[in-house]
Each structure stands twice: as structure tokens, then as C-alpha cells.
Structure 1
Amino acid sequence: MDTSSCGIDFGTSNSSIAVDSNGAISLIPVENGSVTIPSAIFFQQRDNKAVYGRVAVRRFLDRHSPEGAGRFMRSLKRVLGTSLMKQGTLVNGASMNFSTIIAGFLKQLKDKAEAQVGHEISCVVMGRPVHFVDNNPAADAQAQAELKAIAQRIGFTHIDFQFEPIAAAFAHEARLTGEKLAIVVDLGGGTSDFTVIRLSNRFINKPDRSSDILANTGVRIGGNDFDKDLSLAAIMPELGYRSTYGEKGLEVPLKPYHDLAEWSKVNFLYTPKQLMQVRQLLHQSHDKMRFGRLLTVLEDETGHALLAATETTKIALTDEVIHNAVLDFIDPDFVIPVTRGLFETAIQDEVAQIAESARQCLREAGVNSDAIELVILTGGSTEVRSIQDTFKRLFPNAALADQDKLSSVGLGLAYDSRAKFGSTVKI
């Protein structure tokens, strides 16, 4: 009889699903052969139908075609545990709650996995950050409860959770020979999480790994925060950020710029009230050219395109010392040169907090950095040069493993689903 369970990594930036089907664990191709899909949704204006992933991104960026009209969303994971879950949002004029929106995204992952294995999957281990919300246990518990309710809503009947860095460790463990003391560095779009854990391929099928997990820590800082830092340091000043207006030389309101630099807040800027305020300030602005660009972005609703250009710049600065951010959707010849040094200065406070969370994990585990034999890097933000340099300094004697940065959590969650559910549920 067929048995199946799965692991779902619902990430702030990217997501994946892996299955344990009759003892064979594998990642499911979820978009054009890729085992990861951007956590992005686009609701078409003509019928409010949702498309997902790379298709959603392409539809949104192709704003000049009929298919490009609609509502784009990213970073939905960051809404869990916040008041926005209850408030909901307008999608092409129709009120929609975020549980419905997230459920649609996760359901299409489940459907693809079930099509691959040929039957319904009822068991899931959902990945979760160590902290959905920092320093707020009630909101953290609420976020997990909301995600569990969504999993039940799309048809899962047996649901468990695992910390994402632990899942990443499980994925790497299958390739190990011998025993290693490891720290997992999981830097995603919304959170940075750490686990100190003893790993061995002999431990893979142990039903209880609590004795091997020495400590977990996390902080709600990730790649999206790097995007925001870079945007405020390099991009927003060219849109009038911190410019002045009026006879008294007052600084323009900063909130629109901060919201425009966050994926989860951009859509809330496109209101008549906000447009009216910016138009009024433009008349009194001391830098009408730059401040006028802010109005152009709000009128054309190109905030997500602005963030996409910022993210592209961030990624390019991994290999390039200087990158030209092309913002031709604001003005045909608008290009901003951005240096890696500026980027690294902009994110230095966040990098310091990330490093401190890793050191806290060591303290809670009761081990010195010299004792760590393996550093497992997972999540797209571990590509950032200053992050790599920081962890090489913290663990100079450890080997670095960074295979499958975007998919190891999903794979590890499937290993965990096998350990937790085994063959107890028959399909």
C-alpha cells in the first residue's frame, strides 16, 4: 500500500516541497523543472485568478501588456502572527484575507506533489523559523497556529512543525560519514536561524533527536532587510529621501520611503491620501527632480519593480565591486551606480546582530567556536560576501557546506516527516 508524507518549506523569498514516498525522499519539481519556486503571487485584474512563482513575477514586471494588470504580492510569510492576518487586504477591488492568499500558494505546492506520487498526501512537516516574531511568544505561537490552520484548510490531516535550521541539518546529514558537531546558518528572506547539532548518517532514522540538538536561536533579520538597507542607502536618496521642503527646511516624511523599501508594505502606499500628500509636498520641495521620482513611482505603482531592481543589485554585488542599478521604468536614462562597499556599510548593523545570534547559539549549547567541525550554510542570503566573511572568521577551523542553499530545508523536512510519521498513515 502507498504511504506518503511530505515537508513544506514556505519561505519568505522561495518555497519548496519534498516527499517521502514508499521510503524514497525527493524534492518535487514545482515550476518548469525547478525544485524551488519564488514565494510570489500575482492576481490578474481581469478575473482575480492567481498565478504563482516566476510566472507571477514576469506578469507583474510586464506591466505594459494586458496580462500585466493586477495585484502582486511577496514576503507573505512575514504577515503571519501580525494584525494584518485579521485585517486582510483589497485584491483588485475585492476584499481577501491573508489566510486565503497563503492557502492558495501552498495548495498549488501540495497539488504538484500529489500529481507526482499519484495519490493524496495527508501528512506534512511544515518548516518554521526559530522566531516568527522576535521577543513576542504570543505572536510567535499565533503565527504557528495560523500556518497549521492553513495546512488543515488545504487538506492535510497530520501536521507537525520543525525549525528550518534543524531541517537543513537533516538534509546534509544524509551525505555525512562519521559524526560531526555542526552549526546550521539558515539565512532566508525574513529570518536568520541557527542550530548547534550533532550529526551522523547513523542518526537519520532516530525518531527522537532532542539529545542531538544542543541549541536553537534566531533573529527576524534576513535578505529582505538587506534589500531595505540597500534601498535606503543607495536608491531612495535619488527619490528625495531625507530631502527638505518649505520655508523652514523641514525633512520630508520618511515613512513612505521605508514602506517602499519593504516587500510586504509596498501595496499599502497606493492610496489617494498618500498621493495627495506627495503632490502637495512636491510644490514645496527643495529637490523637485528627485522628489518627483517618488511621485512617479506611486502614480505608476512601480514600487515592486523598484524593489526587484534593488534585489538584483544586491545579488550582483556578490561578484561585482560596482553595479549599475537600472531604473528605466522611472525615467528612460535613470541609472544609479552602487558599490559593494556602500552595501556592506548599509547592512553592517544587521550582520552584527546575525553574528551575535550565532554566538548566542554557541553559548546556549555550551560549546566554543573551535569545537564546531562543520558550518552548514543555507538560504540565499548566505551568498552575501560580508556574511560569508563573518562566518569564516567565527569558525576558522570548520569545513563549510553550502550545497542546495535554496532547497535543503524542504528536503530535510521530508526526512523529518519520515521519522515522525513513518508508515503509520496509509493512503
Structure 2
Amino acid sequence: MTTISCGIDFGTSNSSVAIDNNGQISLVPVENAQVTIPSAIFFQRIDNKAFFGRTAVNLFFDRQEGRFMRSLKRVLGTSLMKHGTLVNGASMNFSTIITSFLKHIKDKADLVAGQEIDNVVMGRPVHFVDNNPGADIQAQAELKAIALRIGFKNIDFQFEPIAAAFAHEAQLSGEKLAIVADLGGGTSDFTVIRLSNKYINKPDRSSDILANTGIRVGGNDFDKELSLAAIMPELGYRSRYGDKQLEVPLKPYHDLAEWSKVNFLYTPKIIMQVRQLLHQSHDKKRYRRLLTVLEDETGHTLLAAAEGTKIALTDHEEHKATFDFIEDGFFIPIKRALFEEAIRDEVEKIAASARQCLRDAGVKKEDIDLVILTGGSTEVHSIQAEFKRLFPNAAIADENKLSSVGLGLAYDCQHKFGKSTKSNLIAP
């Protein structure tokens, strides 16, 4: 039987899978003809049937009854993996939820391959959890256990920015010293690496990889900061209540601005607290909007509006974000300048991690020939500007932003599996 391996990029926002069929690398259509799929799940209330990707998103925004989840990757390595969550009234652990999503992707790859695929290289960020080596090890172990559960027998891992480098390497002529910036929904990861199409078949690339760094900041954090700066104030954020002019509790707003925390807000206790404070609010019109969102469970719709605004501001200086689901005729005009100010600290953290990667590699920014930008968050205007400023003399490669990691993981399969396998290979 033909040896087929695959690489899976399980992303915070989007995922993909590519197969290595005896040296022929190709992306797998994972949702109709699309080779990427949003990392989203919708559990239908009537029977708890799971739907994935764009179908899940559409069911949720069509107001079908059920439980919607995104950004599941951010749960790996955290206490939430053990605690689980309520799905249509019943407790379900996150391992089961993530397993269902990744099995859906494996099934697509198996179908294209025409056989069960035993071998996989899973992508992983440089750090699942910042400054917590124990949690980082735990997160990879959790992901490996899920890969075994869905049927893989031989499992290895590769850092996502290294995989992105492998995907671009096939197109190069000559040797380049490159820095890869992989900015996804949940993390930003960097690798300084020597690339050449002559190196593709080298079995050991460790001498070419000069440094890796990473930070738990990504596009979801941009959504959060934009929401807190431009949207939440119109829902009473930082408004006052009572005779003592106290500031309203901020935690519901911060949770409402994070994809992975929204569902935890829809409890009778939290809604009752907001109702009680509404009577004492000094800005009842705006604060009532918060109550409406919680009562109607439209937090994900609110976050989608923030994400849509972020995307719109890539090409436009101003965007009118509409919130008719909260209040008829309710909209907020948001300028790119406000967005860029809101994410300035996050952009600096990302740039600092890139500079640290250069220091760890022992190279100067002037030594970099090529900057490879991958991940949807590299579309953000201020990110583009920052990397052009950091590396003014380097060429910029930014094609296949959402699929290059999956492709690169399949290239890595060639080196790690080939026609023979080793059981449960050691991760990087």
C-alpha cells in the first residue's frame, strides 16, 4: 500500500491539512472546495449533532438553537481542559470537543487518500502558554493524546513558523537567511532559518534553524482590544453607578471580548447582577445594551462585529460597525487610527519577540534576506508597517497566509516518515 502521511495545522482561527502521497504534497479540501476551515464547532440543541467550520458559523448566526465555540486551541494546557463546559445543558470536556473537530479533519484527509492515514506531523506554536513550561508540555501532551484517539499511530510535532518556512523553501533559488513571522489568532511565533531549495531533502535541518521565539498574542487579542476601545464603551464599559459613583464591574466586558470566554457569561447569576446594577446605573441606555447581549446570548455576534471591523480597517480608514441585533439603528463609526492605538502594546510585544529571535540567532536585522509573513493577523496594517520598518532591506513573502503551515507540515512528513515510521516520534 502507498505510504501516505499528513500534516495538520490546528489553528486558533483556521485549520488545514495537507498530505504527502509518496512525495506529492497537496492540500486537502476540508470544507467543500475550501482548503482551510474555520476552527469552529456548533452543537445542535435538538440532538447535540456537531457541525464544523463555515457551516457551524452560519448555523450560529442564523440563530439556530445550540452551542457555538471558537478558539478552542487556546484551552490546551489550561485548567479549562479538566473542567469542561456545558453543551446544551450537559457537561462536556474540551478534549472531547477538540477531538470531534480534529477527527472531522482527519476523515477528510483519509477520504482523499483513499485509506486510513497513520502518520501525522502536528503543528504547534513555540509556546502554547507563555512563561509556563509545565503548561506548555501539558498542552502538547493533550494534543498528542487527541491525535492518538482519532486514529493516528505515529505522531510528531513541528513548530508552526518552521513549517511555514518549509512551504516557502520549495519556491526559492539560492540560499536565504529568513525570519518567519507566523501570526495567528492566538499566538505569534518566529523562526530564524537558513533556506534553500537545495536543502529540501536534508534529513536533519537542526543546523539551519538558528532560533525560535513565540508569544501568546494574536488576532484574537486585536479583536479584544478593539472591542474594549471602540465597542464596549457604547455598552456601558467604565460607566458609573450608585451614590458613590463606583465603576461598573469590568470583568463581564473583558470576558465578552474573548472568543473562548463568552459562553461562560450566560449564567442566571451574572445576568441578575447586571439587572440589579442597571437600576443604579448613571448611563442606563448604554448599560442596558450589555444586559440585552447577555439575555439574548449574542456575545459571539458582538465579537464577530469586532473581527469584521478589524478586517474592514485593513483596506479602509473608517468602518461603520452595525449592531442591529442589540438595538434598531445602532451603529458605531470606528477609525483605523483608533484601532491602531488600541493594539499598539500588542504590536510592540510581537515586534519585541521578533527582535528577541534575532538576538537568540546571533544575527542582525540587516542580515535578513527574506521575511515570511504567514497567518491572518499579518494582514493588519500596523503589523505590515512594523515588519517593513524592522526589515527595510528584506524581501517580503506573504502568499498562502492561511495554508502555508499545513503545506509545510506535509513537507516535514517527508523527512520524518518517508516510507518507514517510528512509533510515537519525539517532538521538537
Output the TM-score relative to the length of structure 1. 0.98
In the alignment, the residues of structure 1 paired with residue 234 and residue 29 of structure 2 have an alpha-carbon distance, to the nearest angstrom, of 41
Give the match for residue 352 of structure 1.
348
Match of 1:198 among 194, 209, 229: 194
Cα drift, residue 205 of structure 1 = 1.5
Match of 1:94 among 87, 90, 97: 90
The yes-or-no answer on 1:290 pairing with 2:286 is yes
Match of 2:234 among 238, 247, 252: 238
Structure 1 range deviating more: 245-254 or 327-336? 327-336
The yes-or-no answer on 1:57 pairing with 2:53 is no
Match of 1:317 among 305, 309, 313: 313
The yes-or-no answer on 1:153 pairing with 2:149 is yes
In the alignment, the residues of structure 2 paired with residue 22 and residue 183 of structure 1 have an alpha-carbon distance, to the nearest angstrom, of 29
For 1:178, give the aligned amino acid: G
Query: Which residues in structure 2 correspond to 1:211-226 (within 5 Å)?
Result: 211-226=207-222
In the alignment, the residues of structure 1 paired with residue 110 and residue 150 of structure 2 have an alpha-carbon distance, to the nearest angstrom, of 12
For 1:381, give the aligned amino acid: S
For 1:338, give the aligned amino acid: I
Partner SS for 1:320: coil
Match of 1:120 among 107, 110, 116: 116
In the alignment, the residues of structure 1 paired with residue 270 and residue 32 of structure 2 have an alpha-carbon distance, to the nearest angstrom, of 39
The yes-or-no answer on 1:326 pairing with 2:322 is yes
Give the match for residue 12 of structure 2.
12
Cα drift, residue 425 of structure 1 = 4.3
In the alignment, the residues of structure 1 paired with residue 378 and residue 145 of structure 2 have an alpha-carbon distance, to the nearest angstrom, of 31
In the alignment, the residues of structure 2 paired with residue 111 and residue 41 of structure 1 have an alpha-carbon distance, to the nearest angstrom, of 16
In the alignment, the residues of structure 1 paired with residue 268 and residue 204 of structure 2 have an alpha-carbon distance, to the nearest angstrom, of 55
Give the match for residue 415 of structure 2.
419
In the alignment, the residues of structure 2 paired with residue 92 and residue 47 of structure 1 have an alpha-carbon distance, to the nearest angstrom, of 9
In the alignment, the residues of structure 1 paired with residue 327 and residue 281 of structure 2 have an alpha-carbon distance, to the nearest angstrom, of 19
Give the match for residue 370 of structure 2.
374
In the alignment, the residues of structure 2 paired with residue 204 and residue 147 of structure 1 have an alpha-carbon distance, to the nearest angstrom, of 27
Match of 1:343 among 325, 339, 342: 339
Cα drift, residue 23 of structure 1 = 1.5
1:185 and 1:377 in contact (8 A); partners too? yes
In the alignment, the residues of structure 2 paired with residue 299 and residue 2 of structure 1 have an alpha-carbon distance, to the nearest angstrom, of 55
For 1:43, give the aligned amino acid: F
1:85 and 1:99 in contact (8 A); partners too? yes
The yes-or-no answer on 1:162 pairing with 2:164 is no
In the alignment, the residues of structure 2 paired with residue 328 and residue 21 of structure 1 have an alpha-carbon distance, to the nearest angstrom, of 49
Specify every segment of 5 or more residues in structure 2 that has no aligned partner in the other structure, as ranges.
423-428
Give the match for residue 229 of structure 1.
225
Query: Which residues in structure 2 correspond to 1:385-424 (within 5 Å)?
Result: 385-424=381-420
In the alignment, the residues of structure 1 paired with residue 181 and residue 421 of structure 2 have an alpha-carbon distance, to the nearest angstrom, of 33
Partner SS for 2:308: helix
Partner SS for 1:116: helix
In the alignment, the residues of structure 1 paired with residue 366 and residue 190 of structure 2 have an alpha-carbon distance, to the nearest angstrom, of 17
For 2:359, give the aligned amino acid: R
In the alignment, the residues of structure 1 paired with residue 399 and residue 184 of structure 2 have an alpha-carbon distance, to the nearest angstrom, of 15
Supply the RMSD in Å over aligned alpha carbons: 0.7
Give the match for residue 426 of structure 2.
none
In the alignment, the residues of structure 1 paired with residue 288 and residue 325 of structure 2 have an alpha-carbon distance, to the nearest angstrom, of 14
Cα drift, residue 418 of structure 1 = 1.2
Match of 2:128 among 114, 132, 137: 132
Cα drift, residue 99 of structure 1 = 0.5
For 2:24, give the aligned amino acid: A
Cα drift, residue 95 of structure 1 = 1.0
Partner SS for 1:161: strand
Per-residue deviation, residues 383-403 of structure 1 (Å, max 9, x unmatched): 000000000000000000001
1:270 and 1:298 in contact (8 A); partners too? yes
The yes-or-no answer on 1:81 pairing with 2:77 is yes
1:132 and 1:220 in contact (8 A); partners too? yes
In the alignment, the residues of structure 1 paired with residue 285 and residue 203 of structure 2 have an alpha-carbon distance, to the nearest angstrom, of 63
1:324 and 1:337 in contact (8 A); partners too? yes
Give the match for residue 40 of structure 2.
40
Number of paired residues? 422
Give the match for residue 425 of structure 2.
none
In the alignment, the residues of structure 1 paired with residue 73 and residue 283 of structure 2 have an alpha-carbon distance, to the nearest angstrom, of 37
For 1:419, give the aligned amino acid: H
1:3 and 1:425 in contact (8 A); partners too? no
Cα drift, residue 169 of structure 1 = 0.1
Give the match for residue 265 of structure 2.
269
Per-residue deviation, residues 200-251 of structure 1 (Å, max 9, x unmatched): 0111111111000000000000000000000000000000000000000000
- The percent of aligned pairs where both chains have the same amino acid is 78
For 1:306, give the aligned amino acid: L
In the alignment, the residues of structure 2 paired with residue 185 and residue 349 of structure 1 have an alpha-carbon distance, to the nearest angstrom, of 18
For 2:370, give the aligned amino acid: L
In the alignment, the residues of structure 1 paired with residue 47 and residue 421 of structure 2 have an alpha-carbon distance, to the nearest angstrom, of 39
In the alignment, the residues of structure 2 paired with residue 323 and residue 205 of structure 1 have an alpha-carbon distance, to the nearest angstrom, of 48
Per-residue deviation, residues 59-94 of structure 1 (Å, max 9, x unmatched): 00001xxxx100000000000000000001110011
Partner SS for 1:144: helix
1:165 and 1:409 in contact (8 A); partners too? yes
In the alignment, the residues of structure 2 paired with residue 344 and residue 78 of structure 1 have an alpha-carbon distance, to the nearest angstrom, of 24
The yes-or-no answer on 1:252 pairing with 2:248 is yes
